[in-house]
Amino acid sequence: MRGRAALAIVLAAFVTGCADDRDGAEERATWRYPDAARVTQIDDYHGVVVSDPYRWLENSDAQATADWIVAQNELSLPHLQALPTRAYFAEQISALIDYERFGIPQFRGGRYVYTYNAGTDEQDSVWVTDDLAERGDMLIDPVTLSADGTASTSGQVLSPDGQLLAYGVSDGGSDWRIWRVRDVDTRVDLADELHGIKFSGISWAPDGGGFYYSRYPHKVDGRAADAGAYDDQQQVRVWYHAIGTRQADDVEVYRVIDHPTRNPYGVVTDDGAYLIISLFDGYVANGFYYQRLREGVRKSETVRLLDEWDARYEFLGNDGTVFYFRTVLDAPLGRIVAIDIEHPEPENWRTVVAETDEAIRQSTLAGDSLIVEYLSDAHSSVRVFDLGGAHKADVPLPGKGSVSGFGGRFDDVETFFAYTDFTTPGSIYRYEIATGDVQPINVPDTRVDAADFVTRQVFVNSADGTRVPIYIVHRKDVVYDGTNPTVLYGYGGFNVSILPRYSSTRMAWLNAGGVYVSANLRGGGEYGEAWYRDGALLEKQNVFDDFIAAAEWLIANEVTGRDHLAIWGVSNGGLLAAATGLQRPDLFAAVLPAVGVLDMLRYHTASANARQWSTDYGLSENADEFAAQFAYSPYHNVQQGKCYPPTLILADTNDDRVLPWHSYKFAAQMQYAQGCDNPVLIRIETRSGHGAGRSTSKNVEQYADQWAFVAEQTGLVLPTQ
C-alpha cells in the first residue's frame, strides 16, 4: 500500500476496530482483569488520528505500572500453577535439562576456556584446561556473581598469551554488561571494571596490554558506576582500555561524527597490524573502516574502506594487506571477496568463493582456510576452501541440523564447532584443518532416544504462491487424525534463519505427545537476501501470510485441528504470533506472544538500538511505512468485542532490548477488548531479561507454565492419564 489510499484504508480499519464499544465484553463471567486506566492520548500520523490509551504503562518507574504488574501476576500465576499438567511439565523439564552441557572451546596461549553446566546449575560456569581430554579447573563460578542465580557470564575472551580472561557479566538478563578481567593462574579478578557496554565484545591488543571495546557515552547527570548513567539513545564510541587503569582514563579511538545513527565496533586482526572498525546501522547495509596499529600508537588515521552502504559485509580476516569479506553485493545468496587495501577499488576485488544456489549463513577464516556454512532448505552444510578459492573439503555432519562455531585465528591448526538438531542436543566437535579430520569432544548423554521421534519437512504454499518450508516433529506413535495438540513456532525477520536445534523444554512437549512445528518464513535468511527483503518493510505482511499458510496446511492435512493448534513466537516472533492471532483468530486454540514488539508506531523511541530495527519495520514518521505498520501493529489492531483465542503474553521486567511496555500495553488492550470468556493473561517475570542468561530454575518455571497453558487449550492428554 502506498500514499493517501493506504492511509484511508488503515484509518477506516482503525475506526472500525477500535471504537470505544464494549458490546459483548460484559458477558465475561469468569475473568475479572485488573483495572487499567484508559487515558486520552492522541497522536497524529500523517493525518491519521491514533489513540494510545495505555501510554502510561511505558513508564516503568511509575508506581501505577508496578501495581499493575503485581495485579496481573496475582491473576495469571495462580491460574497457571493450578493447571492439571503443570506439575508434570515442571518435573519433565527438570529431568530433561539435567545433563552435562559444554560450550565451544576457545584457545589462546596454550590454554582452552569453555563454558560448562552440570545439568541443573542455575548458570554456566567457565573452565580452563590445557588438554581437552581433561576437565581442567573452574575459572569462574557463577554462584559468586549473584545470590539468586540470575547473573550470568556473557562473553569471555582470552588474552593473546592466555594469562588473562576478559569476561562480561549480565545481571538479571539485562543487555548491559559489566566487563571484568581475571588472572587465569590466580583465579582472582584485577581491579579493572568497565561499564556502559551493550552489544559489544572486546578485542585484545597484540601485546595483551589492553583491549578495544565500544561503549555508550555518559548521561549528563549520570554516575560512572551506574548502568543507568549511560545513554543508549546516543551512538557508541570505540575505546582502548589499558590493563591496570581506570575506565575514566580509557582512550577514545573512534567516534562517528558525520551520521546520527551509525554505531562503530572495533576488532584487531590476527596479525595485530590493523584495527577493523565495523559500522552498524540496521540489517540491510553496513560499512568498514580500518586503522593501522603501530608500535606504541593506539590511534592513527582512519581509512574508509567500505563506505557506500550498498550491501551487508562481514569481515573474515586478513592475509597481510588482503582483507576477506563475505557480502551479498551482486550476490543475493552470498559470496566471499578479497580486497587488497593497497588497491581497494571495486574493479580490483577478487571473488574467492562465488555465489551458488544455496545461501551462505556464516563464514570464518581459520588456519589459512575459509570455512563456509551453506543452507540447504533450512539445514546446514559446511565446505572448506583455501584462500585462493579452491575447494578443499566438506565437513561431515551427523545429520540435517545446524552448526555454530568454526572460529579461530589465521595460524590455528584446529577449530571447533557444535552440531544440533531437533532431537540431538548440542555436541562439540574438533575439526583438524589440514586433514579434515572430525573428532567428537563432548557429546551429551541425555534421556532422549532420537529413534523414538520423527522429523519431517514439507513445503506449503503461501498466499502469493511462495513455497515455505516447515519442519514437523513428534513421537513416532503420533497419528494424523486432526486432533493432535500442536505448537507452531516462527520468527520471520532480521535475516535470522530458524534451523533445527535441540531444546530440553521443547522436548518435554514432545514427550507428552505434542507436535512441534517450526516454520521458515520470509524475513529470515534461509534463502538469501531476496527471501529476507520479501518479509520486511512494506512486505512484512508476507511473513504473517506464510505463518497462516503453515497453520492452514497443518489443519487441512489433519496433523492437527483448529481446536488443537497453538502459535508461539519470541521477540520479533512475538510480533508474529500476536499479529497472526489477531488476523486469523478462527485458526488457533491458543496464542503465545513472548517478549514481542507489539506497538509498531513507537518501538523506535525505546533506544538507538531499537531505532535500527527500522530496516525491517520502517518508521512511523514515513507515511508509506506508517501505513504498512498500522495495518498489522498488534496493539493498534485489537477489535473491540471480538472473540480472540486464549492468549498468554510473556514479558520480563528487565528486558532492555524489547521494552516490556510493549507486552503491558497489548495485554491491557486485549483484556479491555476481549469479547468472550477466553482468557487473556500476562505472565511477567521480574528477574530476567529478553531471554539470554535466564537461570535454569526460571526456565523450568516459565516453560512449565507455558506448556500447561497450551495443554489446557489444545486438549493435550498426558501419556500417564
The per-residue pLDDT for 296 is: 52
Instruction: Write the single-letter amino acid at 18.
Output: C
690 tagged catalytic: yes
Residue 148's Cα: distance from chain center in Å?
24
Active-site residue among 571, 607, 620, 633? 571
Residue 99 is classified by DSSP as: S
Measured over the CA atoms of residue 257, residue 258, residue 261 and residue 263, the dihedral's sign is: negative
In 3-state terms, what secondary structure has residue 488? strand
Indicate the pairing of strand 263-268 with strand 274-280: antiparallel
Residue 529 contacts residue 333 (beta carbons within 8 Å): yes
Question: Cell for 208?
Answer: 595483551
The per-residue pLDDT for 146 is: 87
Contacts of 588 (CB under 8 A, 6+ apart): 551, 562, 565, 566, 567, 580, 581, 645
Question: Cell for 83?
Answer: 493447571
d(CA 321, CA 70): 59
Task: Give Cα separations from 325 to 242, 328, 474, 503 (angstroms).
Answer: 30, 10, 40, 33
pLDDT in tens, 49-101: 999 999 999 999 999 999 999 999 999 999 999 999 999 999 999 999 999 99
In 3-state terms, what secondary structure has residue 586? helix
Q: Is 300 exposed, middle or buried (0-12, 13-18, 19+ CB in 10 A)?
A: middle
Fold of 31-94+448-714: Rossmann fold (3.40.50)
- φ and ψ at 692, to 5 degrees? -65, 140
Question: Cell for 502?
Answer: 535441540
Indicate the pairing of strand 286-292 with strand 302-306: antiparallel
The per-residue pLDDT for 219 is: 86
Task: Give Cα separations from 237 to 198, 206, 277, 298, 335 (angstroms).
Answer: 12, 21, 11, 15, 30
pTM of the model: 0.94
Q: How many residues does the chain have?
A: 721
d(CA 169, CA 155): 8
Domain ranges of the chain: 31-94+448-714, 358-445
Residue 220's Cα: distance from chain center in Å?
31
First to last CA, the chain: 52
Q: Which residues of the chain have pLDDT under 50?
A: 1-29, 222, 224-225, 227, 297
d(CA 80, CA 701): 10
Residue 244 contacts residue 190 (beta carbons within 8 Å): yes
Could you give the strand order of the β-sheet that contains 515-519, starting from the edge strand earlier in sequence? 453-461, 467-475, 515-519, 486-489, 565-570, 590-594, 647-652, 680-685
The per-residue pLDDT for 89 is: 98
The per-residue pLDDT for 579 is: 98
The per-residue pLDDT for 721 is: 53
Could you tell me what percentage of the chain is helix, strand and coil, using 3-state DSSP and rounding each to the nearest 5? 25, 35, 45
Residue 647 contacts residue 682 (beta carbons within 8 Å): no
pLDDT in tens, 133-170: 999 999 999 999 988 888 999 999 999 999 999 999 99
Question: Cell for 239?
Answer: 575505546
Task: Give Cα separations from 94 to 505, 570, 594, 652 (angstroms).
Answer: 9, 22, 21, 21
Q: What is the radius of gyration, based on Cα positions, of the chain? A: 25
Task: Give Cα separations from 62 to 57, 187, 653 (angstroms).
Answer: 8, 42, 13
Residue 378 contacts residue 66 (beta carbons within 8 Å): no
d(CA 248, CA 196): 12
The per-residue pLDDT for 719 is: 87
Residue whose cell numbers read 491491557:
668
In 3-state terms, what secondary structure has residue 132? coil
Helices marked H in 55-175 — which ranges?
Answer: 63-81, 86-96
Active-site residue among 170, 474, 690, 695? 690
Residue whose cell numbers read 538478563:
173
d(CA 607, CA 615): 15
In 3-state terms, what secondary structure has residue 332? coil
- φ and ψ at 656, to 5 degrees? -110, 20
d(CA 498, CA 334): 18
571 tagged catalytic: yes
